[in-house]
Amino acid sequence: ALFLRVSLFRLKDLEVAELGDSDVHVKMLAAPINPADINMIQGTYALLSSLPTVGGNEGVGEVLEVGRRVAALKPGDWVIPASTGLGTWRTQGVFPEKLLLKVPSDIPMLCAATLSVNPCTAYRMLTDFETLAPGDSVIQNAANSGVGQAVIQIAKASGIKTINVVRDRPDLAKLVERLMALGADHVITEEMLRKPEMKDLFKGIPKPRLALNCVGGKSTTDMLRHLQPKGTMVTYGGMAKQPVMVPVSAFIFQDVRLRGFWITQWKKDHAQDQERLASMMDALYQLIRRGQLTAPACTEVPLQDYKAALEAAMRPFTSSKQILLF
Catalytic residue ranges: 45
Amino acid at 240: A
Please tell me the number of Cα atoms within 13 Å of 79 on its side-chain side. 32
Strands 161-166 and 137-140: parallel
| DSSP run (H or E) holding 224 | helix 218-224
Question: What Rg do the C-alpha atoms of the chain give, in angstroms?
Answer: 20
Give the three-state DSSP class for 100: strand
CA dihedral 295, 298, 304, 305 (to 10 degrees): -160
Give the three-state DSSP class for 140: strand
Cis status of the peptide bond prior to 32, with omega within 30 of 0: no
Strand ranges inside the chain, DSSP E: 23-32, 60-66, 78-81, 92-96, 100-103, 137-140, 161-166, 186-189, 210-213, 232-235, 257-260, 298-302, 321-325
CA dihedral 88, 31, 295, 179 (to 10 degrees): 100
